[in-house]
Chains A and B, each alone.
Chain A
Amino acid sequence: MPGTHWFKYSSPASFYPLAGLMAPWFGIASAILTVIGLYIGFFVAPTDYQQGEAYRIIFIHVPAAWMAMFAYLVMAGWCAVSLIWNTRLSSMMAQAIAPTGAMFAFVSLWTGAFWGRPTWGTYWVWDARLTSTLILLFLYLGYMALRAAIDDPRRADRASALLALVGAVNVPIIYFSVKWWNTLHQGASVSLTSSPKMAQTMLTAMLIMAFAAWFYTIAVALVRVRSIILEREAHAEWAQRIVEGTR
């Protein structure tokens, strides 16, 4: 929009109300997409001729795995911005994304295990895709633990940003692991260069659930970043005015 000074939103005081306005809309969009995606996934999509009904785990497993990887890249991106331009809000955004990314990494491992048992005959194998996703979960946990271990928030920002950036190398490893190594895990479910390997309704439900996961992550990150801003700006007059106004 012409005349809008977007850089003003890099200040926590300006971003706080904007995040409050946006979060409910993303939350509502996520809830609606989840209902539509699950309806199509359970009541419209046909039974898989090889895996039977067990394949229906795909509607949460693939979106969770995509989200875990994408959230890490976004988190690392914010960390890079915070290191280069020394902006406080970037670190706060990275901090806000990490728990949700970890949650999705855990859910992708869990659902993968419960999908693997009926299809592969085992909950877990030390396969390249599974192991690199487990490392992703540990990277998220390490990032959060490192932040929590350092009292000075600015030092915590820098140290955890470095860890996040180094760990970003794991994301392409996860993605290409099924091509680089001979893995038990199947190849990519969706590719931009080839036609989908699943029925159209299955693909539709999976993509809708992926968008639901995106919007959920954005909503939760916005809510969480508001709490982080309040904690870190507790001595600022604007934060005190807001809290006193809603007491």
Chain B
Amino acid sequence: MIEWLRMGGYGYFVWSSYGMLAAAVLIEIALLRRHRARARTRVLEAIEEKTQ
């Protein structure tokens, strides 16, 4: 396992690449969720404006 993780001495380069992709995807998913919540809040504000 350790040998596999070392990637023949290139582990730092290989895992830095895959790690960045994983981080980018996780950040994008978190931003999507935040965007969704913001959009819902905007609609709820519009509903409140209408009822006032």
User: Chain A: residues with CB nearer than 8 A to chain B?
Assistant: 47, 52-54, 56-57, 60-61, 64, 99-100, 103, 106-107, 110-111, 114-115, 117-118, 216, 220, 223-224, 226-228, 230-231, 234-235, 239-240, 242-244, 247
User: Chain B: residues with CB nearer than 8 A to chain A?
Assistant: 7-10, 13-14, 16-18, 20-21, 24-25, 28-29, 31-32, 35-36, 38-40, 42-47, 50
- 7 A-B pairs with CB atoms under 8 Å apart are A53-B9, A111-B17, A111-B20, A220-B32, A227-B35, A235-B46, A243-B40
Inside 8 A of A239's CB, which chain B residues have their CB? 43
Q: Closest approach, in angstroms, between the C-beta of A178 and any C-beta of chain B?
A: 21
Given A52-B8, A107-B20, A227-B36, A220-B43 contact (CB < 8 Å): no
Inside 8 A of B43's CB, which chain A residues have their CB? 230, 234, 239-240, 242-243
Per a CB cutoff under 8 Å, which of A56, A107, A231 touches B42?
A231
| CB contacts between A and B, total, < 8 Å | 93
Per a CB cutoff under 8 Å, which of A64, A114, A223, A226 touches B13?
A114
Cβ-defined contact, B24 with A103, below 8 A: yes
Inside 8 A of B44's CB, which chain A residues have their CB? 243, 247
Q: Given the complex of chains A and B, what is the CA–CA distance between A234 and B35 in angstroms?
A: 14
